[in-house]
């Protein structure tokens, strides 16, 4: 064994460095994650201890189900035709299988080391969230057409999950009596909430709400601060009711299409307007394709820009369509009179491809209204919710044809491509994606048998955390599962590593350090 050569303390220290590297690299670097994962897996093999390893696996049902699921994944090679993608997919999911197993076989040995890993992760997320925010809003915002560009290094959705988990870890910091500098935890929570608001990742809003609800239920169930928790729970429910009512009212008020008889035929200069009332497109509650006078727009634009309206910007869109949407977002008529109200800064933003004015709402309200706008047009392309409906419909048709064993992970992209072609989908080729639902993706890949093994893995883990009285683990798993219903979280290295690291930390025998001395 490696411990016999180097000593147990040195070997453990190397494992600790690997776990720290994973926590540090999650918000920004795949190379760091790959090296740390491979090194930790190699060390487990070099420091092989059959008796200790067997005992730790035998006493841990979630790990047993994880290994069973891995076995079924490998077995699916028997009915997979596309081996190139099979091995690519297996390689992408290796962190999901390897890291939890490594952490169970070589767990952290002290509470101080758990806090070290959490602290490194929090520091990394805080630093890169500040970097992202400054890069988007201060340094080089003109390089991005929407807030997806705010996340500089990884998917904005994956980073959103890390932000929500960071808030949970800060709450853990606050309620643990023995931990100091609680003021810093409050500062970080405030910052993470601000970042989440401006990130416009709607799944983060939904997950944060769900986690808050579960956290309150935990607190009430445990009898802590009962009056405060009951009040908070009622406030959360009241806020939910208000949000639902506000959504219904906003939808009805914001999307009232103008009537033909109320629309003027000509502009003040005598040119004819175009009013395309067949279009259901709205921006900020304003109908996009009414009050348009192309001759006046062409004339005025040429006075202020070196480009024509038919030239395309760096994103491939004609300036004409960006101008129309931009003026709509400001509530202007698309004619000479409306154009006169644009500033030179507005012209520059339009040339750069921004279809919303700088005066338009930002953050949560902008994302909220943009989602409402989606339902005014039945074309699913470019629409978050409607595209996902198409993904799920396509996935359901594939599952019905391969319900027992699935298509195999290697044939998953081919099955979707074929089904999109057969169904003559309205989605453009670049929008023909997979389900964006991790649980359903596994049912399609591995059928009713493999998909159910994965669900049992999740259920057993929830039960494990509940019985161990480990709310922080329960809340982490809730974050992950909530994300599974809107994203293929485990299909990318970042997503798989994020899940694997914290899942492994919370199901390993070292989690006893998180349970003791609760406030």
Identify the pLDDT of residue 372.
64
* Torsional class of 316: left (φ above 0), alpha (ψ -120 to 50), beta (otherwise): left
Identify the pLDDT of residue 156.
84
Overall average pLDDT of the 11-31 stretch: 93
- How many other C-beta atoms lie within 10 A of the C-beta of residue 269? 12
Residue, of 283 and 423, whose pLDDT is higher = 423
- Could you tell me if 409 and 86 are in contact, meaning their C-beta atoms sit under 8 angstroms apart? yes
> Taking each helix axis from N to C terminus, what angle separates 202-221 and 471-484, rounded to the nearest 10 degrees?
150
Rounded to the nearest integer, the mean pLDDT of the chain is: 84
- Could you tell me if 216 and 233 are in contact, meaning their C-beta atoms sit under 8 angstroms apart? yes
> Which residues, in sequence order, are bridge partners of residue 272?
266
pLDDT tens-place string over residues 130-171: 998 888 777 655 454 556 567 778 888 899 999 999 999 998
pLDDT tens-place string over residues 302-316: 988 888 888 887 666
Q: Would you list the domain boundaries of the chain? A: 1-48, 57-109+380-519, 112-198, 260-351
Identify the pLDDT of residue 518.
42
In Å, the largest CA–CA distance within the chain is 92
pTM for the model stands at 0.80
Residue 450 has pLDDT above 90, yes or no: yes
Under the banding of pLDDT at 50, 70 and 90, the label for residue 86 is very high
pLDDT tens-place string over residues 367-381: 666 666 666 666 777
Overall average pLDDT of the 385-413 stretch: 91
Which DSSP category does 286 fall into?
A: E
- Could you tell me if 456 and 439 are in contact, meaning their C-beta atoms sit under 8 angstroms apart? no
Identify the pLDDT of residue 519.
38
CA–CA distance from 101 to each of 9, 33, 104, 465, 494 (Å)? 20, 16, 5, 17, 18
Residue 516 has pLDDT above 50, yes or no: no
pLDDT tens-place string over residues 221-276: 666 555 555 555 566 666 666 556 555 555 555 566 788 888 898 898 899 999 98
For residue 82, the SS3 value is coil
Identify the pLDDT of residue 471.
87
Overall average pLDDT of the 331-335 stretch: 90
Residue 216 has pLDDT above 90, yes or no: no
């Amino acid at each position: 064994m490696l411990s016999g050569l180097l000593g147990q303390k040195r070997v453990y220290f190397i494992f600790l460095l690997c776990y720290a590297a994973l926590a540090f690299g999650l918000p920004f670097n795949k190379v760091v994650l790959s090296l740390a994962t491979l090194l930790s897996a190699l060390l487990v093999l070099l420091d092989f201890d059959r008796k200790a390893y067997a005992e730790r696996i035998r006493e841990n049902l979630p790990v047993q189900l994880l290994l069973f699921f891995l076995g079924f994944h490998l077995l699916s090679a028997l009915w997979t035709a596309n081996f190139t993608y099979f091995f690519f997919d297996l390689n992408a999911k290796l962190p999901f299988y390897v890291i939890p197993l490594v952490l169970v076989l070589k767990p952290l040995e002290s509470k101080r080391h758990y806090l070290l890993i959490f602290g490194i992760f929090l520091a990394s997320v805080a630093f890169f969230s500040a970097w992202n925010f400054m890069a988007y809003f201060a340094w080089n915002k003109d390089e991005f057409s929407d807030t997806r560009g705010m996340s500089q290094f990884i998917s904005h959705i994956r980073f959103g999950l890390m932000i929500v988990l960071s808030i949970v870890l800060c709450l853990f910091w606050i309620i643990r009596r023995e931990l100091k500098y609680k003021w810093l935890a409050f500062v970080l929570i405030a910052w993470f909430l601000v970042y989440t608001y401006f990130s416009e990742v709607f799944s983060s809003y939904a997950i944060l709400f769900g986690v808050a609800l579960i956290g309150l239920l935990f607190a009430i169930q445990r009898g802590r601060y009962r009056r405060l928790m009951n009040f908070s729970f009622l406030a959360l429910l009241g806020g939910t009711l208000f949000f639902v009512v506000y959504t219904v009212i906003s939808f009805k008020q914001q999307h009232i299409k103008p009537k033909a008889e109320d629309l003027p035929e000509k502009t003040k200069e005598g040119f004819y307007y175009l009013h395309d009332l067949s279009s259901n497109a709205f921006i900020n509650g304003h109908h996009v394709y009414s009050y348009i006078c192309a001759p006046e727009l062409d004339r005025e634009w040429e006075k202020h820009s070196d480009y024509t309206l038919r030239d395309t910007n760096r994103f491939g869109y004609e300036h004409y369509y960006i101008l129309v949407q931009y003026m709509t977002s400001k509530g202007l008529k698309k004619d000479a009179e409306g154009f006169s109200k644009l500033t030179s800064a507005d012209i520059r933003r339009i040339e750069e491809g921004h279809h919303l004015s700088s005066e338009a709402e930002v953050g949560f309200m902008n994302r909220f209204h943009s989602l409402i706008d989606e339902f005014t047009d039945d074309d699913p392309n470019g629409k978050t919710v409607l595209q996902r409906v198409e993904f799920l419909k396509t996935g359901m048709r594939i599952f019905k044809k391969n319900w027992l064993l699935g298509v195999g992970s290697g044939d998953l992209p081919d099955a979707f491509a074929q089904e999109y072609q057969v169904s003559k989908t309205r989605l453009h080729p670049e929008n023909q994606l997979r389900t964006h639902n991790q649980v359903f993706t596994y049912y399609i890949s591995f059928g009713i048998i493999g998909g159910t093994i994965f669900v049992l893995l999740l259920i057993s883990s929830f039960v494990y955390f509940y019985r161990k009285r480990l709310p922080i683990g329960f809340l982490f798993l809730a974050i992950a599962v909530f994300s599974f219903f809107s994203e293929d979280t485990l299909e990318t290295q970042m997503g798989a590593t994020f899940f694997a690291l914290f899942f492994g930390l919370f199901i390993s025998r070292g989690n006893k350090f998180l349970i003791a001395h609760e406030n």
